[in-house]
Chains A and B, each alone.
Chain A
Amino acid sequence: MSSLWKKIWMYALLILGAVISIYPLIYMLMTALKPMTLLFEFPPKFLPSEMTFNNFRDAWVSQNFAQYLFNSIMVTLVSFAFIFLFSSMLAFAYSRFEFRGKKLSFAILMGGLVIPSLTLLIPQFILIRQLGMFDSRWGLIVVYAAGAIPFTTFLLKGFFDSISRDIDESVEMEGGNAWTLFASIIIPLSKPAFVPATIFNALTVWEEFPWALTIINDPAKRTLPIALANFQGQYTTQWGIVFAGSLIAILPIILLFLLLQRYFIAGITAGAIKG
């Protein structure tokens, strides 16, 4: 009997926690569905007494929202190509080789975990301009990718370490070289590890704002966060549109998560985190 009570308590707490977890998203949805006049009503009402999809329509049509969405997807995808290529090679090097400077370079790389990207804004700006990548999506991609390398390398190295070295030897015995081991054994075996890496990195790249604003001048190359910021005026902000736009913007990430979440836990398991 007491175990049944325990279960009931546990579920009650879990439900309470879940409600608190999704409350802001629901609040945002409710606000986005309210017509302007009801936004600042007091006493506040949770459910809109009048529903409208105008905010969603305004957010979508007012700027080149589709173009910005496309840019965001593009930048995110190419950044991921770089992140995974460089990080998996690095992780492989750290997991399977001994070389001079290994420890020191790994410590430096992990130091990269603690650098707030904001502090690098000005020197990166000067660098990107010297490299001729100013006002281009490449300028976004290289900086996003470089910033994500430490954490991704760390995640992947943990996973690679957990793959038995016996495999290395059998590859070698069959005459395969390091690249064979990397490309046809380690990477395919590590598929699950790329799922958490994708999810943890996706949001960072997707919602990055200060850097994108600093180096992109051409509206045709803007990403979604800039579009959202433009809804906020100097004196007044159209909250309904801001929230509607934010919901549209966050949807791809939620979809990505729902799509991948089946593999998510499995990906983190198997020693990925046991640094």
Chain B
Amino acid sequence: MRKKNGVAGYLFFLPGFLFFAVFILYPLVRNLIYSFYDFRLSDLNHLEFIGFDNYVNVFTDSVFWVSLKNIVIYGLISVPGQMIIGFFVAYALHRNGFGTKTFRVLYFLPVITSWVVASLIFKFVFTDQGYLNYFIMDKLHFTDTTISWLSDPNKALLVVGFLGIWKGIGWVMVIYMAALQGVPVDQYEAASLDGCNTWNKIRYITLPAIRSTTFFIQMMLIIGAFNVFTSIYLITDGGPLHQTEVMLTRMYQKAFTEYDLGYASALSYVFAIIIAILTFIQFRLNKED
């Protein structure tokens, strides 16, 4: 495999990278600078150097630790949920059969439904007198006491995690489906002759063959979990008592309710470093396997 060197490479590389550098990297560097300043929304023209104070404030803020814990819980619910369900849906639909095309479209619709709308609807469904409680209490008669899905932090995280799963299955399905097309059919046939059942076929043939895809999906979903915002913002707004706060809702609140942009910048860097470390660990683990 031969690669070309010289000017031509730069000509292809530079326009896009410069564009990215101006509108993303440069603001990112500005943010890094702000994180060492007392910088407030109430006066964007005023900057006062305060060293690491913003970072100290982040780490001594109890809500920061709550939000970190919540991200982990959200990730533990939504990432495996999306991957497992998404994989099985993909497995069921990856070869053309009766109605598979329709199913693919239906499962993908949540991906293209807007986060705002989906969150509002989940909120309607899960409020104390929403559909779900009506169904559980008045139709199925499982219980007599109202289940407060959204005011109990653990249940609220479960609801938001469920929303994440609902919204993400279609995406995982599509990526897995693409990967499954690449698994040679004759391997399955050989396994069938050896008397392998479906489960063993998945375990010994399919999963190893699509390992790199699994790694890719897992990484993207973990990044996605760290970026969860709209659903929490609209469904609980971090409440009650900041118990359902995540990184981005906290950042938003600090920046736009408390006007503390310096703190918000520092928090975004802490956040970026955590994701970077996680990604690094994942790459290492993937290599070792």
Contact = CB atoms under 8 A, between A and B. Distances in A.
Given A93-B9, A269-B181, A118 B23 contact: no
B5 interface: yes
Contacts of B227: 114, 116
B25 A89 contact: no
Contacts of A253: 112
A82 B22 CA distance: 14
Given A108-B25, A114-B279, A119-B268, A14 B92 contact: yes
B202 interface: no
A115 B108 contact: no
Contacts of A173: none
Most chain B Cβ neighbours within 10 Å, of A120, A123, A147, A275: A123
B112 A120 contact: no
B238 interface: no
Contacts of A265: 104, 174, 177-178, 181
B17 A109 contact: yes
B17 A273 contact: no
A46 B99 CA distance: 26
25 contacts: A14-B89, A21-B107, A25-B109, A44-B131, A44-B134, A90-B17, A96-B4, A98-B5, A114-B223, A116-B227, A118-B229, A119-B251, A122-B31, A122-B261, A123-B26, A123-B31, A124-B27, A126-B44, A146-B20, A165-B2, A178-B8, A207-B116, A246-B116, A269-B179, A275-B212
Interface of B: 1-5, 8-13, 15-17, 19-20, 22-28, 30-31, 34, 41, 44, 85, 89, 92-93, 99, 103-118, 120-122, 124-125, 129-131, 134, 138, 166, 169-170, 174-175, 177-179, 181-182, 198, 212-213, 216, 220, 223, 226-227, 229, 248, 251-252, 255, 261, 264-265, 268, 271-272, 275-276, 279
Interface of A: 6, 10-11, 14, 17-18, 20-22, 24-25, 27-28, 42-44, 46, 82, 85-87, 89-90, 92-94, 96-99, 102, 105, 108-109, 111-116, 118-124, 126-127, 142-143, 145-147, 149-150, 153, 165, 168-169, 177-178, 182, 196, 199, 202-203, 206-207, 209, 225, 228, 242-243, 246, 249-250, 253-254, 257-258, 261, 264-265, 268-269, 271-275
